[in-house]
Amino acid sequence: MASRSPRRSPRRSPRRPLRQRRGVLVAASVAAVALVISLVMALRPDHRTGDGQEVATSAAGARTTAPSTSPEPTPSPAKPSASPSPTPTATPTVAAAPKGKPTQPPTGPTPKSTPTAASGGEGGGNGGSSGGSGTAARPASGTAPLAGRIRPGTTYQGVATFYDTGNGDGACLYGPTSDVMTAAMNTADYETSMACGAYILVRAASGATVTVRITNECPGDCLPGQLDLSPQAFAKLAAPVTGRIPITWSLLSPASADPISIRYKTGSTRYWCGIQVIGHRNPLARLEVRTDSGWVRLARTSYNYFLSEQGSGCGGAIRISDIYGEQLTIDGIAVRPDVAQPTRVQFAAH
């Protein structure tokens, strides 16, 4: 009996500490699980800090922290809708423009849709001008303080004849043209080329009308009030066999016209020059050039050029005036003989 007790003691004694250890381990495990749960709850992405601000997360869902120097969390890129920046869809487009406001036409000349006042371009030398071809015309009106014999709002009486216009060139020296609705003005009303480029409405006793542009002078036997028309223009009023008919005529102002062109005469330099204006809507009254001492008015010739005999202002700024007193200043026209250089200006319609 005495020999068995020593054997049993070693077996029973280690069992009690094992149960105790197991209890301790269970209790520790429970505490650890509770701690982990607490940590998980504390570190969830939707957990809010004590100041009410959300902890920022990256687009991949990983939690990010703001630098320790910043009191505010970094905004989450996963929530772009909260960004105050405008998105591309908010950019205005053409389709978003208010309706009922048609696009304004360009301020420059528009294509001519009515051929009633057909007026072709002038060539000459190396250049040419449209000369306001195909422009629609209307009776000129308003005061014209710089007008000569031909005045707006006045009806003139005379006769109409016709002549062979050849290539369309004439005393106005606009150059050859395909325009067939032209006329030569009698010397008195030609008035040293002041009538050049004027648009004239001609009316026959039958009531037929035609619009012509003055490109030539009818010297000699043409009386005041007389117009020598192109054959095509005369045929609009009466049969060519008639040869001569009574007419009335008046000044017109085209409703639309191409920009004016400037041409220097053959042989022009900076020391002598002749300047011509092409395609003006209304009769031209004056041409001035800018010099060191101011604006200088140039003399007009019967061949429709303004001369600077001493070269004053040649190649400089040019100022032109129509019979209504409107002035246009033109810069940047170089001395290039026989070349019609276009501008961006035109006189107003009346």
pLDDT digits (tens, 9 = 90+) for 146-170: 999 999 999 999 999 999 999 999 9
- Between CA 183 and CA 177 the distance in angstroms is 13
The predicted model gives 26-43 an average pLDDT of 64
- Nearest alpha-carbon partner for 121 in 180, 79, 78: 180
pLDDT band of 221, cuts 50, 70, 90:
confident
Q: Is the pLDDT confidence value at 210 over 80?
A: yes
Strand order in the sheet with 306-308: 299-300, 306-308, 273-278, 261-264, 340-342
- Between CA 147 and CA 155 the distance in angstroms is 15
- Between CA 263 and CA 8 the distance in angstroms is 136
The predicted model gives 299-305 an average pLDDT of 98
Determine the pLDDT at residue 220: 84
Considering all CA atoms of the chain, what is the largest pairwise distance in Å, rounded to the nearest integer?
Answer: 175
pLDDT band of 52, cuts 50, 70, 90:
very low
215 vs 13 pLDDT, higher one: 215
The predicted model gives 41-64 an average pLDDT of 42
CB 195 within 8 A of CB 215: no
Q: Is the pLDDT confidence value at 336 over 80?
A: yes
pLDDT digits (tens, 9 = 90+) for 263-290: 999 999 999 999 999 999 999 999 999 9
Give CA 28 to chain center in angstroms.
86
Determine the pLDDT at residue 231: 98
The predicted model gives 125-148 an average pLDDT of 57
